[in-house]
Amino acid sequence: MKVILAGAGAFGIKHLEAMSRIEGIEVVSLVGRDPKATAEVAKHWKIPHVTTELSESLAQEGVEAALLATPTQMHAAQAIECLRAGKHVMIEIPIADSLADSQRVVEAQRASGGLVAMAGTLAGSIRAISGSTSASRPGRSRCCKWTCRPTFSAVPT
């Protein structure tokens, strides 16, 4: 599964570490605010594409999912952008910084049929998305949460 990562800071690096241990996951693009620092992280993790623009990253060929490890105030808008681009999205907690923005993410998810996942910890993160994309159904909300063990639950609402 080809994924992109938005966030080249400490949490992004932790997610790269986790994804490096999951067979079949390929991080094909890295989005960050500081081009030089983002390029250094991408070089270390052998990520072929670097950008400061999420839209550019989402447009990379074959991308199925995005992982957002960005500042909280960016989560809702970025998640909605990912869903509108036809990508599944995993968001580092919290999903948004307001109930209204969280509801906007749910509405975008329902409209797109994509999977929205929240990571409370790093274990199992993208593995749950890659194992669940075929199970998602348009119009159904799906909520995912991880714990320290690689457990996963998706509950349609």
Q: Please write the tens of the pLDDT for every residue from 68-98.
A: 999 999 999 999 999 999 999 999 988 999 9
Select from 55, 51, 1, 7 the least CA-distant residue to 29. 51
Can you tell me the distance from the alpha carbon of 42 to that of 148, in angstroms, rounded to the nearest whole number?
26
Tell me if the bond preceding 150 is cis, omega within 30° of 0.
no
Expressed in angstroms, the distance from the first to the final Cα of the chain is: 26
The residues pairing with 29 across neighbouring beta strands, listed in sequence order, are 4, 49
Q: What is the second-level CATH architecture of the domain 2-156?
A: 3-Layer(aba) Sandwich (3.40)
Instruction: List the chain domain ranges.
Output: 2-156
> What is the per-residue pLDDT across 14-60, written as a single tens digit (0 to 9) for each?
999 999 999 999 999 999 999 999 999 999 999 999 999 999 999 99
Q: What is the pLDDT of residue 147?
A: 31
Q: Please give the C-alpha separations between residue 83 and each of 10, 30, 40, 69, 120, in angstroms, as whole numbers.
A: 25, 18, 28, 16, 20
Give yes or no for residue 141 having a pLDDT over 50.
no
